[in-house]
Amino acid sequence: MMLTLSSLGPRAALVLAALTACSSGQSAVAAAPPAARPDTAHSVPARTPNAVPDSFPGLLVDSAGRSATLELTVTAKPGAPSALINGYRAGEARIIMPLGWTVKWNWSSADSTAPHSLVVMVQREKIPLEGGRPSFSNAMTRMVTEGLRPGQNDQSTFVAEEAGWYWMMCGVPGHGLNGEWLELRVDPDAKIPRAEVRKKA
C-alpha cells in the first residue's frame, strides 16, 4: 500500500515533508521575518522651533514683525546659590536671536528676599562683579546696580544689532557672579528666535 500526502492527515503530512527535506539536506525551518532595524526602532523626533515655548516658557515670536518678546520672572529657590530667571541660572538656558531683530522684555521680580535687575553685557573672560553699560541701547532695567524691589517690574525694547555672545545678568553686585544670568546669542545665521536648555536648576 502506497501512502501519499493527500491520504495523510495535516499533521502527519507536515512531519513527512520535514523528514523528506532533512534527508535531502535541505533546511525545514521557515525563514524568520526580518528584525526591525535598531536605528529606527526608537527614533527621536527632530527638534523644531515649535518646541521653544515648552523648553523655555516666556519666549513669544512675531515672525512678521521680526521681533521677540521675553516674559522674564526672577524667583528664589531655597538652597540655590542664586536667584533664578524663568527657572534657570548660570547659563542653563540660552536665547538665540537673529541679527537685527527687535527684543522686548517684560521683567518682574517675585523674590521677596532681595532686589534684582537685568542688563545685557558682552561676554568677556569673567563675569563682572556688577552690571555696567548695556551692549545694546536700552537693554537694561532701571536701577541696574541698586536693583528693583520685590514685586516691581520693568519693560524694555532694544535691537539685537551686533552678532556675538552676551550675558543677560542681574546687575546687583555679586548676583551675576553667583550665577544669576542667562546666555544671549545674536546669530546672523538664525532665521527665528529659539531657546536651548542645557539643564534645569
What is 52-197's CATH topology? Immunoglobulin-like (2.60.40)
> pLDDT tens across 37-91, in order?
333 333 333 333 333 444 678 999 999 999 999 999 999 988 889 999 999 999 9
Cβ-based burial of 42 (10 A; exposed 0-12, middle 13-18, buried ≥19): exposed
Span 149-165, average pLDDT: 97
Task: For the chain, give every domain's residue range.
Answer: 52-197
pLDDT tens sequence across 82-136: 999 999 999 999 999 999 999 999 999 999 999 999 999 999 999 999 999 999 9
Nearest Cα residue to 69 out of 103, 94, 96, 95: 103
Torsion of Cα atoms, 171 then 181 then 166 then 52, to 10°: -140
Residue-averaged pLDDT of the chain: 81
Q: Rg of the Cα trace of the chain? A: 31
Q: Kindly provide the b/e burial profile for residues 149-163, where b requires at least 16 CB atoms within 10 angstroms of the residue's own CB.
A: ebebebebebbbeee
Which residue intervals of 118-181 are DSSP H helices? Answer: none
| pLDDT for the residue 57 | 82
* Distance between first and last Cα of the chain: 85
- Residues sharing a CB contact under 8 Å with residue 154, sequence separation 6 or more, in sequence order: 107, 108, 118, 141, 142, 148
Task: Compute the residue count for the chain.
Answer: 201
pTM greater than the 0.85 cutoff: no
Q: How far is CA 164 from CA 5, 99, 197, in A?
A: 82, 9, 19
Strand partners, 197: 93
